[in-house]
Every structure is written in C-alpha cells, then in structure tokens.
Amino acid sequence: MNRLADQHLSNPLREGLATRAAPQPCTVVIFGATGDLTMRKLVPALYNITADGEMPPGVAVVGFARREKTDEQFRTEQEETTRKFSRQQVRDDVWKQFGNSLFYHQSEFHDPDGYKRLVDRLDKLDQERGTGGNRLFYLAVAPDQFEAILKNLKAVGLNKGKDGGWARVIVEKPFGTDLPSARELNRVVRTAFSEEQTYRIDHFLGKETAQNILVLRFANAIFEPLWNARYVDHVQITAAETLGVENRAGYYEGAGALRDMVQNHLLQLLCLVAMEPPTDLGADSVRDEKVKVVRSLRHFKESEVAEHVMRAQYSAGAINGKEVPAYRAEKNVNPESQTETYVALRMHVDNWRWAQVPFYVRVGKRLPKSGTEISVHFKKAPSVLFNKDTPVLDQNVLVIRIQPDEGISLRMQAKMPGTSFRIQPVKMDFHYGTSFGKASPEAYERLLLDAMSGDATLFARRDEVEEAWAFIDTIEHAWAAKKNAPPLLFYPAGSWGPEEADELLAGEGHAWRRL
Ligand code: BG6
C-alpha cells in the first residue's frame, strides 16, 4: 500500500481545504492523448504524483486518440515530453515503473467499435492491476467532441463503474463560450454522467496559494473580523503574463482574455476572497458559498460596460528587451482581429459584506512581468496622530501571491531607526519556498489526486459556471454590438496595458499595484 493510503487508515490527512479520503486505484482514460495538454501537463502531473509516492497502487493510464500507435511508441513519446515538461527531474527508476502503467488505445472518438474494445481493455486492466472497476475519464479535447465521446461511453456502460467501482469524468475548459453553450454542454455531460460524477477543472483552483486563501481566512482569527466593507477599501486581482498568444490563435481568436481567463480563473479567485465561511469543508458547502458570490456580482447593463470594463490588444513592442510582434501579426491571427488580449474590470459584490467595495480585476498577455496576485487594500488610518499630515501614510495591503514566488505579505508602517520620527512602509513576508522547504505540486497533480479520491471541492460546479457566464455575457454582447460598442484599445507589448485602464481606478483615488 502506498504511503498516502497507509496514513489514511489511521489518520486522515488534513490537506488543504478538506480532509481528503485517500485517492483510489483506478484507470485514467485520457481522450486527446496526443494533444498538448496531455504531454505538457497531464502525463507529467501523473509522473510527479508517482515520483512523490502519492499514486495509488495499480493505477493505469490509457491514452485514447485517433492516430495509430503502439503502447511502446506512446510510452517513448511521453517519456520524451515528460522529461521536458516535468516539475521534477525524471528519475529512470520511477519512469520505468510509471512508463509501464501507460497504455495506448487507438480509436476515432465517434466509432462505437473503439469503445467496445475499450471495455475489454479496461476489464483486462482491472484484473491485471487491481483497479477495482474504477474509471476516471479525462476529456482533454475540444468541446465539440464531448457529445460523441459521452454518448459512446454511455452506450457501452462505461459511465458507470464496474463491480461496485466508480466512474468519473473530468472536463477541461473552455466550458462553453457563453451561457447558452455552457448550458448545452452541461446538458450533454448530464446525459451520461451525474453532477456528482462530473469534475469541471479550473487549474487555478489547484494552485497552492489559491487553496491557501481559505486557510488564511478561516484558519486564522485575525483576518476575518477585518474582511469586510468596514475595513477593506478595495481589492485588486491581477493575472499578468509575458507570453503572447503563442500557437493557440485557433482557440484564442474566438475566446479573448475575458472568456479565457476572467470567466473562470479570475472569478474563481474572486469567489475565494469574497465568500462567506462555509458551514463545513465539504465540496458542496464550499461551492454553495462561492456561487452566492457570483450571484451577488453587480451585473452591468450593456450601456454601462464601457464605463466599467476596458478591453485592449497588444501591438508590437518588446519583452525583456526582445522585440515581439503585434497580436494581429501573430500566426493564424486575423490582421483585423478584434480579440482582446487584455481586460480590466471594476466590479462590485453587492452583498452586506462587500457593499461599495470595488474589486478591480485585470488580466493581460504580453505584459512586462508574469505574475498572479490578489491584494486586499485596507482603509487608511484615521487622519490623526501620525496620519494627520500630507502626504498621508500608505494603506495596509495584504498581498496573496498566487505565482510565482507563492506567498503572502502584509505591508504596514514602521518607524525608521534613528532619533527623528520618520515612518516608512515595511513588509512582513511569507514565502512558501523558504517556509516549507519544498516545491509546491503543480495544480494538475493536486486536482488529479482529488478526482481519484472523489473530492470535488476544487472543481467548478454546474451552477457556478453558468452564473459566471451570465455575468460575462452582457460584456461580450456590449462589445459585439454594431453600434456604440466600447472601443478596442491598444497597448504596446511590454507595457502594463492601456492608460485608460488606470482611469478605472483613478476616479476613486486608487491605482493599480505594481507587481
Ligand atoms: C489558461 C489560459 O487557462 O491559463 C491561458 O487558457 C493562460 O491563456 C493560462 O496562459 C495561465 O495559466 P498559468 O497556470 O500558466 O498561470
């Protein structure tokens, strides 16, 4: 028995948000096994879980894809890419063990015969490896393939576990492009798998520091009393990337930053910051509270979008001294593309806790630095004593660094050493790396283990996804309007976005935090 399962018997592990049951032996079937996600993220994550001794015994990974290939070829290819993309250096002994648990299954996604053969294959693996009839299906394919795959899985009974085992499905983003399409996808998934069997992945929720937001808030007594409109002046959430669109124009042209990042990742972070304490740490209790936040978001009227949301696209510029082309000059991008690569929003959560507190959210590609962080800006100290002169003292700011250099810092005022009375902001800083002395697992590692243990806390629920789309749709509609659509602005690659985005905050006396 592996270490995790062992410990679980006597003492359930308190990991992250919840007491997680031990991950169970199963077969992981990856649809889209020759794609980018599988080679960059999924197989390396499964390898790292094995290397860390956390993989349940017997787990088999079956890659399902259209190209002809033998198990051996699949293993060799995956070894090569895992060596390139793995978080930890690949160890030969671990790979030997892990590589032998990889299998390849060739079939078209819509070929019923391929699924009949899959049933035989999985039954055989159950017997050989003791995977207990448990199956985890990973849809790492474009959403237009979902229907064929799910229909066929159901037709051969693979939507149920075998002999008392379980069947679960992990669905990758993009989960729809608007509310109607998300509803339709939910309907399609529902035809084969129940909500309890469905795990909609949002890899930001698997990031160590995202999970730590709830620990910070609810495992400490000092923050929660201040975590409201009385003490918090405003909140900022930034996800900045130096990368451009890379080779993903096919997808990104139809998505843009709002759909790609805000609808999912950034709204999820906002929910973790703004939610009420859940009644317990169960998946539904946590998600019940998150969905209430999305429901409390102040929806814009289409005519208000220009005032609260800025969209922009990068033009040519330089990143770290290296010249980079404009978005419109990137491979497979329409030279007149209207797709936004940057978006900034001023949002409000209209509930008692957050009444009148602005939440400023921005995301962009080709910005000068990569980094994701949340900053909670507290109200100023009263204008008396040390704070009665101008310029007034800086506010206290609590920064949660999601990546890189995961950690939390608190800015406060301190007296400078010396005989005169000078005050300067200082930082109390916690770094994951130095405090715990080990690297955090990648989001996909955590999320795959959670799915193997049946813990859906860090996966998006159907209602959360649909509510988020309802909020996003008005903005997209305003942008798509034939008349009076808010303009698409431009910013040089390597800058912090269009100047107009500063005005979103300036009116209220705020400014974007420098990363
Ligand atoms: C993905 C988006 O979901 O998240 C990408 O599609 C983005 O456009 C990526 O680059 C960012 O994730 P991370 O983990 O690299 O910050």
- Encode pLDDT of 435-445 as tens digits: 888 788 999 99
Residue 15's pLDDT band (cuts 50, 70, 90) = very low
Query: Residue whose CA is closest, atom 7 of ligand 1?
Result: 261
Q: How far is the CA of 286 from the centre of ligand 1 (A)?
A: 24
Residue 13's pLDDT band (cuts 50, 70, 90) = very low
- The arithmetic mean of pLDDT across residues 214-228, rounded, is 96
Query: Residue whose CA is closest, atom 9 of ligand 1?
Result: 261
User: Tell me, what's the pLDDT at 19?
Assistant: 54
User: Tell me, what's the pLDDT at 421?
Assistant: 83
Measure the CA angle with vertex 340, ends 337 and 342; round to 5°: 150
Which range is least confidently modeled, 11-15, 39-43, 467-471?
Answer: 11-15
Give the position of tokens 């069997």.
197
User: Tell me, what's the pLDDT at 436?
Assistant: 87
pLDDT at 454 over 60: yes
User: Tell me, what's the pLDDT at 391?
Assistant: 79
pLDDT at 4 over 80: no
User: Tell me, what's the pLDDT at 11?
Assistant: 37
User: Tell me, what's the pLDDT at 389?
Assistant: 81
Tokens found for residue 300: 């814009």
Ligand 1: which of 36, 241, 341 to mutate, most ligand atoms within 8 Å of CB?
A: 241
User: Tell me, what's the pLDDT at 21?
Assistant: 80
Q: How far is the CA of 245 from the centre of ligand 1 (A)?
A: 10
User: Tell me, what's the pLDDT at 20?
Assistant: 65
- Cα maximum dimension of the chain: 84
User: Tell me, what's the pLDDT at 73?
Assistant: 97
Kindly state the DSSP code that residue 264 receives in the 8-state scheme.
I
Query: Residue whose CA is closest, atom 13 of ligand 1?
Result: 204
User: Tell me, what's the pLDDT at 10?
Assistant: 34
- The four Cα atoms 456, 457, 459, 463 give a dihedral, to 10 degrees, of 100
Ligand 1 is surrounded, with C-beta below 6 A, by 203, 241, 260-261
Q: How far is the CA of 360 from the centre of ligand 1 (A)?
A: 19
Residue 9's pLDDT band (cuts 50, 70, 90) = very low
- The four Cα atoms 491, 207, 296, 481 give a dihedral, to 10 degrees, of 30
Tokens found for residue 515: 């990363």
Sign of the CA dihedral running 63, 64, 68, 70? positive
- Encode pLDDT of 234-257 as tens digits: 999 999 999 999 989 999 999 999
Measured distance CA(357)–CA(375) in Å, rounded = 13
- The four Cα atoms 348, 290, 364, 442 give a dihedral, to 10 degrees, of 160
The contacts found for 357-360 with CB under 8 angstroms, 24 or more apart, are 357/229, 357/232, 357/233, 357/234, 357/235, 358/234, 358/235, 358/505, 358/508, 358/510, 359/234, 359/235, 359/236, 359/237, 359/270, 359/274, 360/234, 360/235, 360/236, 360/237, 360/504, 360/505, 360/510, 360/512
- The arithmetic mean of pLDDT across residues 64-81, rounded, is 96
- Encode pLDDT of 274-302 as tens digits: 999 999 999 999 999 999 999 999 999 99
Annotation marks residue 477 as catalytic: no
Tokens found for residue 420: 């005169």
User: Tell me, what's the pLDDT at 420?
Assistant: 85
- Encode pLDDT of 80-120 as tens digits: 999 999 999 999 999 999 999 999 999 999 999 999 999 99
Query: Residue whose CA is closest, atom 4 of ligand 1?
Result: 261
Ligand 1: which of 36, 85, 260, 365 to mutate, most ligand atoms within 8 Å of CB?
A: 260
Single-letter residue type at 477: H
Q: What is the mean pLDDT of the chain?
A: 93
Q: How far is the CA of 407 from the centre of ligand 1 (A)?
A: 19
Name the pTM for this structure. 0.93
Q: How far is the CA of 284 from the centre of ligand 1 (A)?
A: 26
Which range is least confidently modeled, 228-232, 356-360, 403-407?
Answer: 403-407
Contact 323, 334 (CB under 8 A): no
Which range is least confidently modeled, 133-142, 161-170, 415-424?
Answer: 415-424
Among the options 8, 203, 234, 265, which is catalytic? 265
